[in-house]
Amino acid sequence: MTSLADHPTPTGHGRMLRKEDARFVRGRGRFVDDVTLPGMLHGAVLRSPHAHARIVSVDVSAAESHPLVRAVVTGETLAARGMAWMPTLSHDVAAVLATDKVRYQGQEVAFVVAENRYAARDALALIDVEYAPLEPVVDARRALDPDAPLVRDEKQADNRIFDWESGDADATAAAFAAADHVSTCDLLYPRVHPSPLETCGVVASADPVGGGLTVFATTQAPHAHRALYSRIASIPEHRIRIVAPDIGGGFGNKVGMYPGYLCAVVASTITGAPVKWTEDRSENLMSTAFARDYHMRGEIAATADGRILGLRVRVLADHGAFNGTAQPSKFPAGFFHVFTGSYAVPAAHCHVTGVHTNKAPGGVAYACSFRVTEASYLVERLVDVLAHDLRRDPAQLRMQNLLRPADFPTSAPPAGSTTPATTRAPSRSPWSSRATTSCAASRRAAPAGAPAWASA
């Protein structure tokens, strides 16, 4: 990790001058929920109480008769406009509003537009949806069983999304064959949610005269949103204006597009008025993009004296009902980029399988460093287990296998060395009082060692 000190003259390095602090500490930030346009209406989303169910019927007549309701949008409404499905970042498609069946609890079924947000929410209770419950798949391992219920039966005959691998499988197999010892560790890295302080929200204003569209959105990717609106709603990009005001946290959670955004656009087109939709905290936790949710099996091969020869990792990644992640080598399974950690590993191989389950879709959700945390956790647990099996001190075993400055094939300025940081850490902590434990005994515990960050 390079340490850059401030310089008396501009050099392109050093701290960035912050411009927004004064506004925020004085309460003058402007977020999407602060946006109010003349004649603006409010939207609310009806969500499924089931993780997996056929939709038998949707009756919106009572909601439509509510005196303050201006429109009710259903999956059939969108299907008639060719907008029932929207593309994801990974070349999948996701239902905007469910038509045939719901595939996770909290999936969007209908969108009510009313004169105020309270009337819109009240009208949701007037919509009568008849469901025929189906067996859900909530375990990624169960999803691969031949008799597992199909999550995406509209497009494929099983629940497998992809198989991705990287590294040298043959060289890794040879390293394991030559090893004196192999240690194994199975880990479950659970699903986590970025949970930004500000939930998702949008104000859509369609121009019925000029055919344009203005969207105020809590988005980290305004250009991607513009492209998606253009593709789904058949509006030329140059007629779409995306405004991304202050954002109350994102962590990747606000890169993709959610059904509520597109429903607001359609509702504005139908009513001829601006439409605001802001999700509440329960909705945000229930249905927006999550991170992690991996079953990981790691194997580490070493000589009798502790020199690491190879590393092999098998990952099962639960992507939920729709694959909303970016390309698999980065989100969520870019393990091979970093899963060898700070160690000199001669041979390594990583195999990742992604599957559909009846859970909310994954997405571009960093949640404290995408792909790095889980990969680092896995390799550090493996080194701990290896140290336990070989009856070695974990710190000494790490020092023995650390990458040295000469091992880095880079032309960048040197960023320091892993060795000083790893040497200092045990001396500045109660390291000697910690006892190494087996993976089985401490599967959910923090690793006895920490990833070795370079020190300047």
> What pLDDT is recorded for position 197?
94
Burial 402-434 (b: 16+ CB within 10 A, else e): bbeeeeeeeeeeebebbbebbeebbeeeeeeee
Q: Is position 119 within any domain?
A: no
pTM attached to this predicted model: 0.86
Q: Kindly report the CATH number assigned to the domain that includes residue 340.
A: 3.30.365.10
Q: Is position 373 within any domain?
A: yes
Q: Is position 365 within any domain?
A: yes
Q: How confident is the model at residue 388 (pLDDT cuts 50, 70, 90)?
A: very high
> What pLDDT is recorded for position 96?
97
Instruction: Share the mean pLDDT of the chain.
Output: 87
Per the CB < 8 A criterion, the answer to whether 230 and 43 are in contact is no
Q: Number of structural domains, the chain?
A: 1
Q: Is position 422 within any domain?
A: yes
Q: DSSP secondary structure string, 417-443?
A: BHHHHHHHHHHTTTGGGPPP--TTTTT
Q: How confident is the model at residue 291 (pLDDT cuts 50, 70, 90)?
A: confident
Give me the residue label for tokens 């169910």. 53
Q: Which domain holds residue 375?
A: 160-194+289-404+414-433
SS3 164: strand
What is the distance, to the nearest Å, from the Cα of residue 80 to the centroid of all Cα atoms in its chain? 31
Q: Express each pLDDT in 392-415 by its tens digit.
A: 999 999 999 998 877 776 555 555
Q: How confident is the model at residue 251 (pLDDT cuts 50, 70, 90)?
A: confident
Residues 330-349, mean pLDDT to the nearest whole number: 76
Burial 45-58 (b: 16+ CB within 10 A, else e): bbbbebbbbebeeb
**Cβ neighbourhood burial of 19 (10 Å; 0-12, 13-18, 19+):** exposed
Residue 372 reports pLDDT greater than 80: no
Q: How confident is the model at residue 367 (pLDDT cuts 50, 70, 90)?
A: very low
Single-letter amino acid, residue 141: R
Q: Is position 370 within any domain?
A: yes
For helices 394-401 and 372-390, angle between their N-to-C axes, nearest 10 degrees:
110
Residues 79-102, mean pLDDT to the nearest whole number: 91
Residue bearing the bigger pLDDT, 253 or 108: 108
Q: What is the DSSP letter of 148?
A: P
123 φ, ψ (degrees, to nearest 5): -70, -20
Distances (CA, A) of 189 to 161, 291, 296, 315, 373: 19, 10, 7, 10, 10
How many beta carbons lie within 10 A of that of residue 304, not counting itself?
9
Q: Express each pLDDT in 318-327 by its tens digit.
A: 999 998 775 5
Residue bearing the bigger pLDDT, 73 or 22: 73
Q: How confident is the model at residue 143 (pLDDT cuts 50, 70, 90)?
A: very high
Residues 236-249, mean pLDDT to the nearest whole number: 96
Query: What is the distance in angstroms between the CA of the first residue and the CA of the last residue of the chain?
Result: 7
Q: Is position 2 within any domain?
A: no
Residue 61 reports pLDDT greater than 90: yes
Q: Is position 21 within any domain?
A: no
Q: Is position 167 within any domain?
A: yes
